């Protein structure tokens, strides 16, 4: 809440909302038993989206060699990132990877042991949250249940001393920008989860922040609403040209929303790039195993010109050898590698089809327009693949072929 409102609060109770102070480990607010409000079944009337204002400055956020330890444990370890002006960068990783600690250091709630946070070339590491002028969207939205939608959005402006008439006009514009025009007078709790998420986004944007920080903003939505909301979120941020850092453990959310993705593990950066780069050109085994679905199969880079390793990878399964173009051999230190076999790069074939490995279907499940099959190719190798063919049964002998090259390879 502090980063959104631009003020620091001690832990107190205002109305029926407990506001957490800077010293707390978490972000946000807690609902203290506010009576429920029946949600309206009437959709919000759409209004034309106004043209967003042109950005007044180029905003670049940089993290240089950030480290933070808690006792003997390194939560963040020598992390360096740069978010360019207007870019949305997603920071992803498993629980305990250091995502939240990184976000807290960027927001000013946590002081790094070493390293710096830079904004447009200026060191802001020692600035308190109130002076960083960042916007924040929380995992639980942190909306005031006793206020209307418009009052929630305008609260940060009120805290900054903006006049009432100006507050109302800017709150209306912010709501229009997120597709909630006409909702200013409604109770917050009458909105759906997706609409509440957009109110939280409007509240963060209305103060015209230099950088927008998003802490797992989609995690509380059901799958269908989540997919729709993340598309709306990306469209809004792209339209407004906001520089943003989006923290999530869900790679589908990250891939759908972000321009680039940074994957961290145990506080260290494993790889940063576009979603396609992380998926198709993983820099390590850890990246290949975390991103998407894959089967890692022992393989060998073939000899070639230049460095002696070439760009061909040979995969041998149950004595059947196949050779393919290899992706990113420069990442590897040895000819002995793992080939990364993705489900979407494999296809069912006849057991004796040229270029296919024979196998047996060990599992199948329906996944909407596709079937997901598990095929055992040897005692050590079982792959997963997608197919529109619903007629294949468990126990049936099939062939599996690689349909997309180059094949990604990573160090053993």
Q: What is residue 159's predicted lDDT score, i.e. its pLDDT?
A: 83
Backbone angles phi, psi at 166, to 5 degrees: -70, -40
Q: What is residue 118's predicted lDDT score, i.e. its pLDDT?
A: 97
Radius of gyration, CA atoms only, the chain: 25
> Closest Cα partner for 201 from 225, 232, 227, 223?
232
> Closest Cα partner for 408 from 250, 262, 280, 276?
280
**Token pair 């050590």 in the structure block, residue:** 380
* Per-residue confidence in pLDDT tens, the chain, 412 aa: 333 333 333 222 223 333 333 333 343 333 333 333 344 434 433 333 333 434 445 689 999 999 999 999 999 999 999 999 999 999 999 999 999 999 999 999 999 999 999 999 999 999 999 899 899 888 888 899 999 999 999 998 988 889 998 999 999 999 998 888 889 999 999 998 888 988 999 999 999 899 999 998 888 778 887 888 888 889 888 888 899 999 999 999 999 999 999 999 999 999 999 999 999 999 999 999 999 999 999 999 876 544 444 589 999 999 999 999 998 666 677 889 999 999 999 999 999 999 999 999 999 999 988 999 999 999 999 999 999 999 999 999 999 999 999 999 999 8
Q: Which domains does the chain have, with CATH numbers?
A: 2-279 (3.40.50.300), 296-411 (2.40.50.140)
Q: Is 319 exposed, middle or buried (0-12, 13-18, 19+ CB in 10 A)?
A: exposed
Distances (CA, A) of 66 to 23, 71, 88, 124: 20, 16, 20, 13
> Closest Cα partner for 332 from 301, 356, 291?
301
Euclidean distance between the first and the last CA atom of the chain, given in angstroms as a whole number: 45
């Amino acid at each position: 809440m502090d980063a959104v409102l631009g003020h620091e609060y001690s832990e107190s109770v205002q109305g029926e909302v407990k506001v957490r102070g800077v010293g707390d480990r978490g972000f946000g607010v807690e609902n203290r038993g506010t009576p429920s409000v029946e949600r309206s079944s009437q959709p919000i009337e759409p209004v034309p989206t106004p043209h967003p204002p042109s950005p007044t400055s180029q905003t670049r956020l940089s993290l240089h060699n950030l480290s933070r330890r808690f006792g003997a444990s390194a939560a963040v370890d020598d992390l360096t990132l740069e978010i360019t002006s207007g870019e949305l960068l997603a920071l992803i990783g498993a629980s305990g990877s250091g995502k939240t600690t990184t976000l807290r250091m960027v927001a000013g709630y946590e002081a790094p042991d070493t390293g710096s946070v830079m904004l447009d070339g200026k060191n802001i590491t020692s600035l308190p949250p109130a002076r960083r002028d960042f916007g924040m969207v929380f995992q639980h939205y942190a909306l005031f249940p006793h206020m209307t939608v418009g009052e929630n959005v305008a609260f940060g402006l009120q805290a900054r001393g903006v006049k009432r008439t100006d507050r109302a006009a800017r709150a209306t514009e912010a709501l229009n920008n997120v597709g909630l025009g006409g909702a200013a007078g409604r109770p917050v709790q009458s909105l759906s989860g997706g609409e509440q998420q957009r109110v939280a986004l409007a509240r963060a944007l209305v103060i015209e922040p230099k950088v927008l920080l998003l802490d797992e903003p989609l995690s509380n939505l059901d799958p269908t609403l989540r997919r729709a909301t993340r598309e709306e979120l990306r469209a809004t941020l792209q339209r407004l040209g906001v520089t943003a850092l989006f923290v999530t453990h869900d790679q589908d959310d990250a891939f759908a929303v972000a321009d680039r993705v940074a994957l961290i593990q145990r506080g260290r950066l494993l790889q940063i790039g576009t979603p396609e780069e992380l998926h198709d050109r993983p820099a390590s085994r850890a990246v290949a195993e975390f991103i998407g679905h894959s089967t890692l199969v022992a393989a060998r880079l073939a000899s070639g010109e230049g460095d002696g390793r070439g760009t061909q990878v040979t995969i041998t399964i149950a004595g059947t050898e196949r050779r393919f173009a290899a992706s990113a051999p420069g990442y590897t230190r040895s000819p002995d590698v793992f080939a990364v076999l993705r489900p979407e790069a494999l296809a069912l074939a006849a057991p004796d089809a040229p270029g296919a490995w024979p196998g047996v279907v060990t599992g199948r499940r329906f996944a909407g327009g596709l079937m997901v099959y598990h095929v055992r190719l040897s005692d050590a190798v079982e792959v997963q693949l997608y197919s529109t063919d619903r007629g294949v049964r468990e126990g049936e002998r099939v062939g599996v072929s690689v349909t997309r090259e180059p094949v990604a390879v990573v160090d053993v």
